[in-house]
Amino acid sequence: MSSKKPIILILCTGNSCRSHLAEGMLRYFAGDLFEVCSAGSKPAGYVHPLAIKAMAEIGIDVSAHTSKHMNEFLNRKVETVITVCGNADQACPIYPGQLNRHHWPFEDPAHATGSEDEVLAVFRRVRDEIKRVFGAYADGRRDALKAGS
């Protein structure tokens, strides 16, 4: 699928939690401006059910997302790469056409322990942190486009 919109690729190690939370948020905030994708350096092969649940609670559906390997994007012109965990930042290749790279690490909610309610609380907290960071990023990109830069 080709898109005229610049591609923003969000990377994490497993591509099961944080990168999908961030992908869903950025699509919500700026999907009109960018094609937003996510991938992992060692993809888990699934999207964590509590990530899907935490996003659904705020009206964002990521249930159709899939876990992908970052190498699937090596033949695509990726404008911006955002890593959301340290391991992906270290493993991240340079993509064709890449102009920007950001590293914003977040705690991995998949490692949370306790009851389902306690673990879900961690997913909600990380979701809300990602919402603040990626909402601000989307606002900044939108402002830059309006200013013509």
Q: Is 85 a catalytic residue?
A: yes
Q: Which of 85, 88, 126, 130 is catalytic?
A: 85
* Residue owning tokens 């950001």: 102
Q: Is 37 a catalytic residue?
A: no
For residue 55, which of 45, 65, 68, 46 has the smallest C-alpha distance? Answer: 65
Q: Which of 17, 37, 92, 130 is catalytic?
A: 92
CB count within 10 Å of CB 149 equals: 6
Q: Which of 10, 11, 12, 82 is catalytic?
A: 12
Element (H, E) at 149: none
Whether 65 and 23 have beta carbons less than 8 Å apart is answered as yes
Active site residues: 12, 85, 92
